[in-house]
Amino acid sequence: MPDAPILQVSGLNVFRGATHVLKDVSFEVARGELVALIGANGAGKSTTLLALSGLLPARSGTARMTTDEGTIELTRASTETIVRAGLIHCPEGRQIFQSLSVADNLALGAYARTDKDWIAQTTEEVYRLFPILREREKIPAGALSGGEQMMLAMGRALLGAPKLLLLDEPSLGLAPKVIDTIFDVIAELKARGVTILLIEQNAAMALEIADRAHVMEHGRITLSGTGASLMENDRVRQAYLGVSA
């Protein structure tokens, strides 16, 4: 089914403790698309990604990933199975393994992959995209700068062979120059046909690069459209782009 959306989320409800965080969230991501989720802190963006990778249980609703290898119910599968199926989640705050070397971090990114040649080739590619990582190969990842850690997190995600890549706030806390590097890589991945679901607090950059975007407020998707159309939307401009009416 080459035309089925790679991700179909429908009526998803997620609780964290007693708090109802996601309320009937439904959206789709088509193959090769870059979809952005924007919204204020606490709107439920990260929770959405955590539920998709099987780290938070869904109370009701479905999330389905369809690839050439078949369809997988993300709300019922284990994270291990989900990662093997090609859903790679680059989490908020990078979450690299600080005490492990850069090379070990990259090797862990490829933990679910078995093809040694592919891993060696992709590791080379990551080093080409981020040459600084090759220089720091043997150093504990915790000693890297924030920007380098983000590059490592991206590189590690690429070694998972993502069919669907979830990026949670890749620009958070980084210098503008590093953000540009990260977004260049995101654009390159998109050009190569990797499907991406992107969360960004930097709404302007996200909308610029996204094919489509959804605005999340209080656990619901309240507005959807193409990146360009949302950039023109008055409400979005006021609330998220800092443009006064």
Partner 1 sequence: MSQYLFQQLINGLALGSLYALVAIGFSMIYGIVRLINFAHGDLVMIGAFATLGMLFYGTPWPVTLLVVLLVGALAGATIQTVVFRPMLGAPQVTGFIASLAVSITIQNSALMLLSGQPRNFLFPEAMRQRVSLGGVSASLTDLVIIGLTLTLIAILFVIVYRTRLGRAMRATAENLMAARLMGIGVNRTILAAFAIGSALAAVAGLFWGGKFGQIDPLLGSVPGLKAFIACVIGGVGSIGGAMLGGYILGLAEVLFVGLLPQAYAGYRDTFVFSLLILILLIKPSGLFVRHVEERA
Binding residues vs partner 1 (CB under 8 A): 53, 55, 78-80, 83-84, 88-89, 91, 95-100, 104, 107-109, 111-112, 156, 160
In the complex, the smallest distance separating the C-beta of residue 204 from partner 1, rounded to whole angstroms, is 28
Closest CA to 54 of 157, 214, 166, 202: 166
Q: Nearer to partner 1 by C-beta: 51 or 207?
A: 51
In the complex, the smallest distance separating the C-beta of residue 104 from partner 1, rounded to whole angstroms, is 6
Q: Nearer to partner 1 by C-beta: 63 or 230?
A: 63
User: Encoding tokens for residue 157?
Assistant: 């995600």
User: Which residues are CB-neighbours of 219 under 8 A, at least 6 positions away?
Assistant: 20, 21, 22, 23, 25, 43, 44, 47
Please tell me the distance from the alpha carbon of residue 168 to that of residue 74, in angstroms, as a whole number: 18
Please tell me the distance from the alpha carbon of residue 101 to that of residue 57, in angstroms, as a whole number: 32
Q: Nearer to partner 1 by C-beta: 143 or 243?
A: 143
In the complex, the smallest distance separating the C-beta of residue 221 from partner 1, rounded to whole angstroms, is 24
In the complex, the smallest distance separating the C-beta of residue 61 from partner 1, rounded to whole angstroms, is 22
In the complex, the smallest distance separating the C-beta of residue 83 from partner 1, rounded to whole angstroms, is 3
Please tell me the distance from the alpha carbon of residue 235 to that of residue 62, in angstroms, as a whole number: 30
Number of neighbours of residue 115 by Cβ within 10 angstroms: 11
Q: Nearer to partner 1 by C-beta: 116 or 177?
A: 116
Under DSSP, the state recorded for 75 is T
Q: Nearer to partner 1 by C-beta: 157 or 185?
A: 157
Tokens 């069919």: give the residue.
163
Q: Nearer to partner 1 by C-beta: 100 or 223?
A: 100
Question: Distance between the two ends of the chain, CA-based, in angstroms?
Answer: 45
In the complex, the smallest distance separating the C-beta of residue 173 from partner 1, rounded to whole angstroms, is 16
User: Encoding tokens for residue 192?
Assistant: 């190569």
Per 3-state DSSP, the chain is made up of helix, strand and coil in percentages (nearest 5) of 40, 30, 35
